[in-house]
Amino acid sequence: MLRSNHILLLVLLAGFFHTEGICRTSFTEDTFRAIYMKNPDRALALIGKEEKSPSGGIDPLRLDLMRAWCYNVKRDYLQVEACVRRGLANDSIRLVPERNIPYSRLLVEALVRTNRYEEAINQCDSVIGMARTTGNWNAEAQIFCDLASIYKQMSYNSMAERCFDKTISLMKDSKDVRDMAVLSTAYGDYISFFIDQGRIDDALSAGYKKEAVIGRMSMAPGPPPGYIDREYGYLFTKMAFLLHTAGRKRESERYHAKFLSTDFSKTIEGKNYAIPFLISSNRFREAKALNEECIAAFANDTVSYEYLQLLQHKADIERRLKDYQAASITMKRCYTLRDTIYARESASEAQKFAVQFQLKEKEFELKMANANATKRNIFLTGITIITVLLIVLLWIARRNLSISKEKNKALANKLDKYIAEHEEHRRAYGESVLDVGESTLEAQATEEASESLASNSASESITSGGEGFDYGKFMKMESLIVDKKLFLEPRFGRDELCRIANVSKNDISPMLRRYAGADNVTDYINRLKVEYSIKLMSEKPYLSIDAIAAESNFTSRSTFYRVFQKICGMSPAQYQKTKLE
């Protein structure tokens, strides 16, 4: 998860600063290294003063790199990316591999943290090429470690394990403190990888190796202040959890005591890492207190896997404390957050890129296997190839069918959940809508009464559009339209919607884009019709597609299919089939 990359890269940063021969000022790189990890805001303030100082001796590009490290500690990855890209836009950085590599590695982490995996993988390939050109094995090992973490997050476990092994093989015999820092990080990520795979013994083995590496680093000059303590703190809490899971409770308590003796245990990050051990050892009250403290401090980016993990811990603790109602609410938050993260990841083609890479590897392995088989027996190879191809084709056909069914089922469930949640929102906001009497509703059938409804009911329940039109008022408007099924009326369109919402024709489309995600009025009405058709399929499964299209006021079956496919990502028949299975 690139957990400690910004720590170990400080060692590279120190060497990078040193080779440039920066002149000393009242604010020096030593000052920066001493404070930025524990107090990034103060470091940023000093960088700002240095930038404005007429006697400042630090190059502006260097200050941007230092600023990027501060934002990295603060987890403000968009700012990290902005600082790094400013540096890479300069030829003196971009065209010199020794200078380019530290910037590019920061960019990789920022891209991963914002779930842009394809860009991150491409950037990793670029850095590996520069590292091999310059003989920088340390940077190459770090990038392989980064790639392992990326593939791990994408669930390509075999590729992740190969990258971890490559990192360790490059650094395991080195006595350089920077190489040992890379090796320590690789073992730490390997521990998390083995935990996710349920390989507790392998995780413990990696943990003991990491402890030995940290011990070697602590005896060598070079690590920045707080680095060794942080590495020990992270390791001790992981080992305590693993040993408790393995049933070695006395040893796990010893490691937990070691963890509490570190300064890292008093930080928010350290407290977060301590929660799994406290849960596994049934110390739920302590775990709850730490979890609440971590959630309160996690305000920069709540659309992230780190925040999702905190919510999952919270739900787990609440269940174990038998507060099932609170646990249910927290899990709903987890589902919503997971969907948000998935939507952001789906925008990237990183998974497609990784699959293509994996397929190329499989094709190469198949060619090698066929070549070796040909040497032994041409006839047998021919028969084997034909058999394998038939099996593969049958397997692919069956797999594709299964994937298609599962995808449609998942999409249908997601649609049902969205509609249920949207209806709940409408009911919540709709309760405050002005009660419209029967006489008013009857009068709405005429043009004159419709205008009266727009000027009276809409103005009292929604108020005027423009800047004052908020989401709650929009939901009230939608609740009125849905409850009275106005969208099913043949003549219901932009003019009628403007009167009900009490907004101008110029404002109606921006309002729909903002609150309904619709491109225009027609798209918005079609969305309401599709939602209504979905409810018909659930409530009246005996109806045909043509009947549902007619009841939903679509002009033809083909129009219904086209609109439904565009909005829902599947055809009406596919949705109906998932509900009947």
Q: Which residue in 308, 217, 236 sits closest to 274, CA to CA?
A: 236
**Domains of the chain, first to last:** 1-135 (1.25.40), 350-413 (no CATH)
Q: How far apart are CA 492 and CA 254, in angstroms?
A: 72
In 10 A of CB 67, how many CB atoms? 24
For position 26, what pLDDT does the model report? Answer: 62
Residue with tokens 């089922």: 409
* Full 3-state SS string of 195-206: HHCCCHHHHHHH
pLDDT of 387 above 60: yes
pTM (global) more than 0.75: no
The span from the CA of 302 to the CA of 102, in Å, is 27
Q: Which residues contact 543 (CB under 8 A, 6 or more apart)?
A: 536, 537, 551
Of the listed ranges 6-10, 45-49, 60-64, 74-78, the least confidently predicted one is 6-10
pLDDT band for position 56 (50/70/90)? low
| pLDDT of 17 above 70 | no
Residue 13 to residue 139: CA distance in whole angstroms: 12
Q: What distance in Å separates the CA atoms of residue 208 and residue 233, rounded to the nearest whole number?
A: 14
Kindly tell me if the per-residue pLDDT of 174 is higher than 90.
Answer: no
pLDDT score of 419 more than 90: no
Q: Give long-range contacts, CB 8 A cutoff, 24+ apart: 183-187.
A: 183/141, 183/213, 184/8, 184/210, 184/213, 184/214, 184/217, 184/231, 185/3, 185/4, 185/5, 185/7, 185/8, 185/142, 185/145, 186/141, 186/145, 186/148, 187/213
pLDDT at 325: 92
